[in-house]
Each structure stands twice: as structure tokens, then as C-alpha cells.
Amino acid sequence: MKKKIYYGLGAILILIIGYVGYIALTTRSHSPSKTTTFSNDGLDITVNYCQPFKKGRVIFGEGKDALLHYGKYWRLGANEATEITFSKNINFGGKPVNAGTYRMYAVPGANAWEVSLNSELGKWGAVEPDYALDVVKVQAPVSVAPSETEQFTIDFSADSATININFAWDKTQATVPLTVQ
């Protein structure tokens, strides 16, 4: 009798481990890793994040159907927390930030996102940061994207004075201006 119980528990344990392993191995295919870089005049910026797909979902909003609710923490991607590295001291949305690596997250809103840099690194999942470790918070205006973006994207655009970090997903785009100190 005890053997049957042990075999049954063993089989259940193997199924659970197999399922968790399957989820862990396929997570990257649902939201693949992406590294976006910018380089100019000795300034190097690297953003490491994971790109979720829209898949017909409502992305931003207040209703129960929205994937990302206005006024709530979002890690700016999927899987592990998004991290950004600056090789020089910069102004992030007009506020000074020292060279280094930071966790970057947002609190989306209908008209602006609050984008923050935080010194807590190496976090996986949707675990909220220790807000006491926030280095800077800025308001990033939201605009309607020129076209619908199926897969969440972080990229850069620049002119002679400003580098913009652009966040685009669905029909929404938010932008934070950067300048070298």
C-alpha cells in the first residue's frame, strides 16, 4: 500500500516538475530577450528587456480586460526586470543620473507615463521594486503611435541636442529625452 502511495506521489511530482520546466523553457519564445543600444560621441546606452506580443489583447487601460492598468507598476517588458546602462552621466528627462546600470520601470497613464530608474538590479518577474531605491522619476508624455506595434519595443531616436528613448506598444508611444551632462 505504501509503495502505491509513493509511486503516485512520485508521478505527481514528476508531472509538476515537467510542467514548470516546460513553462520556463518556453517563456522566452513568448517574450524574447532584446538588447537595444545607442552610441554617439563616447556615450553608450544599452537596454536589456524582453518583448511581449500584443496577441489581440487590450494592452493599456482601466478596465478589467486591460493587460496593463493605468496607475500600476509595469517592468517595461516581460520576464526579468528591464535594465538600462549609461556609460556617461546623463540627464534623464531633465534630471541628472550618474553613469551606471539601473532597473527601469514605468507606471503607465492615459496621458503620461511615470518612468523610473532604480538601483535594485537582477530581479525576475513582476516583482515591484524597492521604491526607496528609486534614483529618478520623470513624466514621459504619451502619444498615439504612427502605426500599431504588435511587439513591445524600446528604441532610440536622436537629433543634434537630444536622444529620445521611445517605448512603443499597441497604439501607444511614450518618450523620455536624454542629454549628456
pLDDT by residue (tens digit) across 23-62? Answer: 555 555 578 999 999 999 999 999 999 999 999 999 999 9
Segment 94-114 mean pLDDT: 97
Do 100 and 79 lie in one domain? The reply is yes
> Which residues constitute the domain of residue 114?
31-180
Please report which confidence band the pLDDT of residue 6 belongs to, taking 50, 70 and 90 as the band edges.
confident
Q: What angle do CA 164, 167, 171 make, to 5 degrees?
A: 125
Segment 70-97 mean pLDDT: 96
Do 9 and 66 lie in one domain? The reply is no
Task: Give the whole-angstrom CA distance, residue 86 versus residue 99.
Answer: 5
Do 81 and 123 lie in one domain? The reply is yes
Do 134 and 45 lie in one domain? The reply is yes
Do 65 and 149 lie in one domain? The reply is yes
| Pairing of the two strands 95-97 and 90-92 | antiparallel
Joined grid coordinates for residue 157: 531616436
* Residues 171, 144 contacting (CB under 8 angstroms): yes
Query: Rounded to the nearest 5°, which phi and psi values hold at 87?
Result: -85, -15
Closest CA to 80 of 135, 132, 109, 121: 121
Q: Which helix (H) or strand (E) holds 75?
A: none
Into how many domains does the chain fold? 2
